[in-house]
Amino acid sequence: MKAPSTVPKPEFPADADTKEYAASLDAVDPLRGFRDEFIIPSKANIASKKLAKPGLSEEPCIYFCGNSLGIQPKATAKYLEAQLDTWSSIGVGGHFTDLEGSPLRQWQLLSEQAAESMSKIVGAAPEEVAAMGTLSMNLHLLLASFYKPTSDKHRILMDWKAFPSDHYAIESQIAWHGLDPDQSMLLVGPDEGEYEVTTEKILSYIDNHASEIALVLLPGIQYYTGQLFDIKRITEYAQSLGIIVGWDLAHAYGNVELKLHEWNVDFAVWCTYKYGNSGPGGIAGLYVHERHGQVDYSAGRDSPKFRHRLTGWYGGDRAERFKMDNKFKPIPGAGGFQISNPSAIDLTSLCAALSVFDKTSMSEIRKKSVLITAYLEHLLLKDSTDETRQFQIITPSNPEARGAQLCLLLKPGLLQQVAQRLQEIGVVCDKREPGVVRVAPAPLYNSFTEVWTFVENLKQALKE
């Protein structure tokens, strides 16, 4: 039996399908000012094949693709300019010098600046978060530390439709240990004809295979269906059976409220370029619970005891890093899992995006997300039935089981005509073969009027 929702689903009046009503929601939106923090691509530019400056005076497109790549914050140019000026003016001194008037700390501390802001987004202590690498690279690094298979406990419980990079990472890690992925990958999926993987089914899989499972690794939000998993409950149950639990938060970071420390999650990884708006391929993040990042010097300063991980110079204690004595003394916490000197340019772009998040909270972002996603759902379903509708919403209707994304499974043969129509009118959203359109109204820069306009055009496209 599903637990009752503690997040009430918004209700809308009879005139909610009017543009005037959408505008009234925008007028009272407490986050409406954040739209001005971003550069929204113009309709003219997204249709052009030539490199162009942002069309700030031109009609903006409707950008519902933040679940693939967030748009550029206006702060990005300012932050990158400061970074380039630092590099050009003081060269190597940028590693150790805090410059007055710069929004950035010295390069050696820049990853800590990013981690401090990211920790508020994921619900962790700053010391439990590190800004480094890419999501897949970070996943490999943490699997190297947390996946310790034995002859009895060797299986990894994962999503039946995991994002390919996660699937490949898990498959290769299993093979690295000389095991057979077909035997060690345990896939949990929805019941026949369904798209939601219930928490109860996941818990039953954990229960039935507890003696074989070495690790649970699931997505916070399933990329294809948009389902938000019950991270707290699944983590607690698996850990009660002695199982390590990790999460891929690629689609959850900057999207939904997370409380990784409070939920006792062992580890997590995420990218920052989707709802986090750090730029294409932007530097990623990872979380390691404080208990796994402890460093014990009881046996002497030169004999630290710590959780095994793949080590690198940049994970070493900053106070002793430049002694170059090849005696690894890890930074306590997630910082000790760092490998290499991170790209200051990438960190700058991330810090620029985080400066926007620093002006609000995930609680406020989530409030609007619940409302704007419910409004999108209401308009999509209004005045139609399951029999007459040309699509099925495969994302859960429960606000607690989704983020800022609805996935529409179109009837066969409709995807290309709908995608073409949306492109022609300046709507950017993601499509997944053979028939899914993923629509993601991001609370920081999308409006209720855009939702109304999108639905009007989608319904027209479905009639053509």
Q: What is the mean pLDDT of residues 67-89?
A: 98
- Residue closest to 287 by CA, chosen among 312, 270, 267: 267
Does 90 map to a domain? no
When pLDDT is cut at 50, 70 and 90, the band that residue 6 belongs to is: low
The reported pLDDT for the residue numbered 155 is: 98
Q: Are residues 442 and 405 in the same domain?
A: yes
CA distance 222 to 252: 9
The number of angstroms, rounded, from the C-alpha of 121 to the middle of its chain's C-alpha atoms is 10
At 129, which helix (H) or strand (E)? Answer: strand 129-131
Q: Are residues 45 and 23 in the same domain?
A: yes
Q: Are residues 431 and 308 in the same domain?
A: no
Q: Are residues 266 and 343 in the same domain?
A: yes
Q: Last residue of some domain: 355, 379, 409?
A: 355
The tens digit of pLDDT for each residue in 430-445 reads: 988 889 999 999 999 9
Does 303 map to a domain? yes
Contact yes or no for 111/338 (Cβ under 8 A): yes
Q: Are residues 283 and 170 in the same domain?
A: yes
The reported pLDDT for the residue numbered 422 is: 92
In percent, the amount of the chain with pLDDT more than 70 equals 98
When pLDDT is cut at 50, 70 and 90, the band that residue 401 belongs to is: very high
The reported pLDDT for the residue numbered 5 is: 53
The reported pLDDT for the residue numbered 1 is: 37
Count of other CB atoms within 10 angstroms of residue 250: 27
The reported pLDDT for the residue numbered 343 is: 96
Look at residue 319 and tell me whether its pLDDT is greater than 90.
Answer: no
Q: How far is CA 305 from CA 129, 130, 298, 446, in A?
A: 20, 20, 8, 48
When pLDDT is cut at 50, 70 and 90, the band that residue 385 belongs to is: confident
The tens digit of pLDDT for each residue in 152-194 reads: 999 999 999 988 999 999 999 999 999 999 999 999 999 999 9
The reported pLDDT for the residue numbered 179 is: 97
The reported pLDDT for the residue numbered 433 is: 86
Domains: count for the chain: 2
At 457, which helix (H) or strand (E)? Answer: helix 448-463
The tens digit of pLDDT for each residue in 270-304 reads: 999 999 999 999 999 999 999 999 999 999 988 99
Does 23 map to a domain? yes
Does 82 map to a domain? no
Look at residue 13 and tell me whether its pLDDT is greater than 50.
Answer: yes
The tens digit of pLDDT for each residue in 91-107 reads: 999 999 999 999 999 99
Does 450 map to a domain? yes
When pLDDT is cut at 50, 70 and 90, the band that residue 320 belongs to is: confident
The tens digit of pLDDT for each residue in 362-380 reads: 999 999 999 999 999 999 9
The tens digit of pLDDT for each residue in 204-260 reads: 999 999 999 999 999 999 999 999 999 999 999 999 999 999 999 999 999 999 999
Does 343 map to a domain? yes
Q: Are residues 260 and 376 in the same domain?
A: no
- Residue closest to 371 by CA, chosen among 8, 4, 6, 10: 10
The reported pLDDT for the residue numbered 272 is: 98
Annotated binding site for pyridoxal 5'-phosphate: 135-136, 163-166, 248, 251, 273, 313, 341
3-class secondary-structure state, position 319: coil
Could you tell me the pTM of the whole model?
Answer: 0.95
The tens digit of pLDDT for each residue in 17-64 reads: 999 999 999 999 999 999 999 999 999 999 888 998 887 778 999 999
Does 7 map to a domain? no
Which domain covers residue 195, as residue numbers?
A: 109-355
Q: Are residues 344 and 370 in the same domain?
A: no
Q: Last residue of some domain: 335, 355, 375?
A: 355
Look at residue 3 and tell me whether its pLDDT is greater than 70.
Answer: no
**CATH number of the domain to which 164 belongs:** 3.40.640.10
Q: Are residues 335 and 407 in the same domain?
A: no
Does 77 map to a domain? no
Q: Are residues 215 and 235 in the same domain?
A: yes
Mean of per-residue pLDDT scores for the chain = 95
The reported pLDDT for the residue numbered 101 is: 95
Q: Are residues 132 and 223 in the same domain?
A: yes
Q: Last residue of some domain: 299, 331, 355?
A: 355
Q: Are residues 174 and 283 in the same domain?
A: yes
Annotated binding site: 135-136, 163-166, 248, 251, 273, 313, 341
Distant-in-sequence, close-in-space partners of 160: CB < 8 Å, separation ≥ 6 = 187, 188, 189, 190, 197
The tens digit of pLDDT for each residue in 103-127 reads: 999 999 999 999 999 999 999 999 9
CA distance 13 to 150: 58
Q: Are residues 51 and 118 in the same domain?
A: no
204: its two tokens: 């039953």
**CATH number of the domain to which 436 belongs:** 3.90.1150.10
